[in-house]
Chains A and B, each alone.
Chain A
Amino acid sequence: MPSLSHGQQTILLVDDSENDLFLMRVAFKKANYHKPLQQVRNGEEAIAYLKGEAPYFDRNKFPLPTIMLLDLNMPKKNGFDVLAWVRAQPGLKRLAIVILTASMRSEDVERAFDLGATSFLVKPSNLEALATMMQCLCDWVQINHFPPLEERGEKAGSVIPK
């Protein structure tokens, strides 16, 4: 598919809850999604991953994601911090970022969209609903056209700060 320009369509999961990460993987499996899922445990790790800093310098092993599923309430740099940081990076600002959080506060929804979130999802309380949601998300990814992350004329290596 020409729209999925960065390789094999990786999804990056950012969540501090080991259980939720595990259940998300189960939900993706139930949704018949078998492509690579990467995961990090907080905002700092997410930024390190996107920058390609150690231990994520190997882009073959840790490719830039097509979309990022981002929790909001996390230790060390929360989801809002990551969102704001990504939108300020010329080589990353086009990255599709789906907020996936337990929060239903309207202030959080507003703030997330103000900071440039692509979508805002609330974690369902049961696995079936989560699987349905991940199925919808995969379908949504399939029907979308995503631009290359770098703007024309720029090289990835030069625009992502080290």
Chain B
Amino acid sequence: MPAQTSSLPPTELPDVPRLALAITEHAPLPMATVEGATHIVRYGNPAFCRLMRKPMGQLVGKPLDELLPKKDQCLTLIERVFRTKRPESYVEQEPSQPHPVFWSYVIWPVLADEGLLGIMIQVTETAEVHGKTVAMNEALMLGSVRQHELTEAADLLNAQLQAEISERKQAEEALRRAQEQLTNRAGQLEGLVAERTAELTAINKQLEAFGYSIAHDLRAPLRAMQGFSTMLLEEAGSALNDTAKDYADRINRSAQFMDALLSDLLALGRISQQRVQLTSVNLKTVVDSVLSRLQDDIDEKNARVDSSGPWPAVLAHEPTLSQVLFNLMSNALKFVRPNVPPVVRLRAEEQPGFIRVWVEDNGFGIAPEHQSEIFRLFARLEGEKYAGTGIGLAIVQKGIERMGGRVGVESASGQGSRFWFELKKARM
């Protein structure tokens, strides 16, 4: 320290070689100097003598390798210091039991102006601390070895996982592609269906427009024909002879007949096209409403109608069922034998799962060979004597068909007809 150094007068400085020797002599650490190729010991301090358990006299002049218990590494290092003139240090273990001893060497060259004087060796016996360091080193080494193993195992697992992931990814990709194809196909089909539906809807719309134009445009001139022929008969009747009146009358009746035809065709179109939703329908209500609509006809023909029931409920579309029953009933009142008042019996017959409704008349009946034709459109068996359009039974058949039922007739010529239709029984 500069402060202390400067506080002492230079003349009082001790003799340097003596001081150096004193330092070495009193050092608690074993120190020795060797010289020459065989490492002859030239000096050892008292600590060194104690370590070697020999007096100085037995140590000086002896080669170091004879004195040291383990020396390979030490001698190699002395050689190296000798050659490089650089200090070295190392530790070696003496495997004495039960506690190993560790020797720590510090070796350095003793240099003077004239060159290398010798090699100084300082040896320290270290036990615990160094042992721990080594143990720690070993543990670290083991750890690093173990770490290596763990890394390898982890690498292996990673590789396996990678393989699995890649397999799964392939499967997913395949699935995705399949789904994509499916979606595409579904899309195409949907498109196709939509296209067809649009076409059909357009055609339906055209048909509807056609039907509407029949209703509106064709009936307008008929109203005029009927109206003006009526006025001709009423207002100019006195000016007309019988032939002219007959002509006017024919125009009138033809117009009305054509109107009936158009009405029936429209009804058939409606029954064929409208949405039919089946619900529980009380037959009694339908029968009563049909009979009340035909009351004038019934009175006029002096007909007897039996509809006393019982009437169960059926699964039907009420407007359609009403139209069906109206047509059958009005046929029963229409196709009668001359001078025989109509007798009509309406009844329901319970069958397992369905109801059969009978409309039985006492009219002129239908010969068996004609029974299959009568439900055909425009089928007319009786010519102009009876004012039928030939559409009524086609409407009946179509209507029952739309409601998922069946229709038929039992008859013999001159025996009256027994028309029937079947509909599913409604759950009450």
B219 / chain A contacts, CB cutoff of 8 Å = 102, 123, 125
Whose C-beta in chain A lies nearest to the C-beta of B216? A102
Chain A residues with CB under 8 Å of chain B are 17, 19-20, 22-23, 26, 73, 101-105, 123, 125-128, 130
Most buried by A among B222, B223, B230, B259: B223
Among B227, B231, B259, B263, max chain A CB count under 10 A is at B227
CA–CA, A59 to B62, complex, Å? Answer: 155
Contact status A104-B227, CB under 8 Å: no
Interface size on B, residues (CB 8 A): 19
B220:A125 contact, CB within 8 angstroms: no
- The CA of A127 and the CA of B248, in the complex, are separated in Å by 14
Instruction: Report the separation of the CA atoms of residues A26 and B227 in the bound assembly, to the nearest whole angstrom.
Output: 9
**Minimum Cβ distance to chain A for residue B345 (Å):** 31
Q: Does B212 contact A (CB under 8 A)?
A: yes
Q: Are B227 and A105 in contact (CB under 8 A)?
A: no
List B contacts of A26 (CB < 8 A): 227, 231
B142 contacts chain A at the CB level, 8 A cutoff: no
- Do the beta carbons of A125 and B222 come within 8 Å of each other? yes
Given A17-B220, A101-B216, list of 18 further CB < 8 A pairs?
Answer: A19-B220, A19-B224, A19-B227, A20-B220, A23-B223, A23-B228, A26-B227, A102-B219, A103-B216, A125-B255, A125-B256, A125-B259, A126-B223, A126-B226, A126-B230, A126-B256, A127-B226, A128-B230
Q: Is the CB of A105 within 8 A of B220?
A: no
Q: Closest A-chain residue to B229, C-beta based?
A: A127
* Complex CA distance for A126 and B212, rounded to whole angstroms: 19
Contacting residues of chain B (219-250) with chain A, CB-CB under 8 angstroms: 219-224, 226-228, 230-231
Please list the 3 inter-chain residue pairs (A to B) with the smallest Cβ-Cβ separation, ordered nearest first: A19-B224, A125-B259, A23-B227
28 contacts across the A-B interface (CB closer than 8 A): A19-B220, A19-B221, A19-B223, A19-B228, A22-B227, A23-B223, A23-B227, A26-B227, A26-B231, A73-B216, A102-B215, A102-B219, A102-B223, A104-B215, A104-B266, A105-B212, A123-B219, A125-B223, A125-B255, A125-B259, A126-B226, A126-B259, A127-B226, A127-B227, A127-B231, A128-B230, A130-B223, A130-B227
Residues of A within 8 A of B263 (CB): 125
Q: Which of A23, A105, A128 contacts B224 (CB 8 A)?
A: A23
Question: In the bound complex, what is the Cα–Cα distance between A73 and B209 (angstroms)?
Answer: 12
Counting residue pairs across A and B whose Cβ atoms lie within 8 Å, the total is 55
The minimal Cβ–Cβ distance linking B205 to chain A, given in whole angstroms, is: 12
Residue of A nearest to B231 (CB): A26
Chain B, 231-282, CB within 8 A of any chain A CB: 231, 255-256, 259, 263, 266
Contact A103 B215 (CB under 8 A): yes
Question: Which residue of the partner chain B has the closest CB to A105?
Answer: B212
Q: Which residues of B contact A20 (CB under 8 A)?
A: 220, 223-224
Q: Which residues of B contact A103 (CB under 8 A)?
A: 212, 215-216
Residues of B contacting A127 in the complex (Cβ-Cβ under 8 angstroms): 226-227, 230-231
Across the interface, A125 reaches (CB within 8 A) one of B212, B216, B226, B228, namely B226
A101 closest partner in B (C-beta) = B216
B220 contacts across to A, CB distance below 8 A? 17, 19-20, 102
Q: How far is B215's CA from A123's CA once the two chains are assembled, in angstroms?
A: 11
Q: Which of B215, B255, B256 has the most A CB atoms < 10 Å from its CB?
A: B215
Q: Which residues of B contact A101 (CB under 8 A)?
A: 216
Report Cα–Cα, A23/B215, bound state, in Å: 18
Q: Determine whether the beta carbon of B212 is less than 8 Å from that of A123.
A: no
CB distance from A73 to the nearest CB of B (A): 5
Q: Complex formed: what's the CA distance from A23 to B227 in Å?
A: 7
Residue-wise interface mask of B (188-210) relative to A, using a CB-CB cutoff of 8 A (1 in contact, 0 not): 00000000000000000000000
Q: Which residues of A contact B255 (CB under 8 A)?
A: 125
Give the complex CA separation of A73 and B218 in angstroms. 13
List of A residues within 8 angstroms of B227 by Cβ: 19, 22-23, 26, 126-127, 130
How far is B215's CA from A85's CA once the two chains are assembled, in angstroms? 26
Query: Bound state CA distance, A103 and B215, in angstroms?
Result: 6
**Distance, CA A130 to CA B223, complexed state (A):** 10
Q: Which residues of A contact B223 (CB under 8 A)?
A: 19-20, 23, 102, 123, 125-126, 130
With both chains docked as a complex, state the minimum distance between the C-beta of B322 and any C-beta of chain A, in angstroms. 14
CA distance A101 to B256 in the complex (A): 18
A149 CB → nearest B CB, Å: 31
- How close is B249's CB to chain A, nearest CB, in angstroms? 13
Q: How far is the CB of A145 from chain B (nearest CB, A)?
A: 31
What's the minimum C-beta distance from B280 to chain A, rounded to whole angstroms? 22
| Chain B residues positioned under 8 Å from A23 (CB to CB) | 223-224, 227-228
Bound Cα distance from A42 to B222, whole angstroms: 21
Q: CA separation between A103 and B216, bound complex, in Å?
A: 6
What 0/1 readout, one digit per residue, does chain B (64-90) give for beta carbons within 8 Å of chain A?
A: 000000000000000000000000000
**How far, in whole Å, are A128 and B234 apart by their CA atoms in the complex?**
11
Residue of B nearest to A17 (CB): B220
The interface residues of chain A lying within 8 Å CB-to-CB of B228 are: 19, 23
Chain B residue nearest in CB terms to A27: B227
Residue on A nearest B260 in the bound complex, by CB: A125
